[in-house]
Chains A and B, each alone.
Chain A
Amino acid sequence: AQSVTQPDIHITVSEGASLELRCNYSYGATPYLFWYVQSPGQGLQLLLKYFSGDTLVQGIKGFEAEFKRSQSSFNLRKPSVHWSDAAEYFCAVGAKAAGNKLTFGGGTRVLVKP
């Protein structure tokens, strides 16, 4: 079975500072990896995804993530956060062998200080 861990429940960053959100997964084969962002009371917006190929993935809103197989990680980064980046971020893992079902991490809430 696949699983996802997001070790940080909350992260507070100053506007303009860099941000890194951690994600570790457990799955026997190469997974599909996703990062989503959710604003309060809203659905999920896909930030980026990894299926194969280049392990550094560029996404929307200036986000990027790096797949590291040796560490079973898929950390999300942004060089300079904006106040509008305050939201809940979810890492998810899927696998074709599992019918493309997604398993979500617990989420990381990002607060941005002015």
Chain B
Amino acid sequence: GAVVSQHPSWVICKSGTSVKIECRSLDFQATTMFWYRQFPKQSLMLMATSNEGSKATYEQGVEKDKFLINHASLTLSTLTVTSAHPEDSSFYICSARGVLAGAPNEQFFGPGTRLTVL
């Protein structure tokens, strides 16, 4: 149980285009989803926290107009990178937290999405 998927697993796009990444909780309802970015050989940095049905809360330094997050249902959150540029190339990882017996405070991570902007 507690499986989180991401789609796509990798994407290559041209500079200036927008890219949407999906994060789904497959077997539980995710009241909160988190989006992280990981640059090569670096740690994960939290970008934003989203609660179902409400606006996302962005970490300091993260442009909310560039990284649009939507958490429209209890099983789906999306991250849209708008007008992507090469410096947005990174590994994007989502995690989900829900009301799960035995794991109320645990985040379950997706497999990540590799974004390359040419």
Contact = CB atoms under 8 A, between A and B. Distances in A.
Interface of A: 32, 34, 36, 41-46, 49, 51, 90, 94, 96, 99-107
A102 B114 contact: no
5 contacts: A41-B112, A42-B111, A43-B93, A43-B111, A44-B109
B46 A43 contact: no
Contacts of B93: 43-44
Q: How large is the interface on B (under 10, 10 to 19, 20 to 34, 35 or more residues)?
A: 20 to 34
Interface of B: 6, 32, 34, 42-46, 49, 91, 93, 95, 97, 105-107, 109-112, 114
A31 B91 CA distance: 27
Closest A-B pairs by Cβ, 4 of them: A43-B111, A44-B109, A104-B43, A43-B112
Contacts of A49: 106
A31 to B, nearest CB: 11
Contacts of A51: 105
Contacts of B97: 100
A71 to B, nearest CB: 22
B111 A101 contact: no
Given A42-B112, A107-B43, A102 B105 contact: no
A58 to B, nearest CB: 15
Nearest to B4: A43
A42 B86 CA distance: 21
Contacts of A101: 34, 46, 49
A102 B46 contact: yes
A46 to B, nearest CB: 7
B32 A100 contact: yes
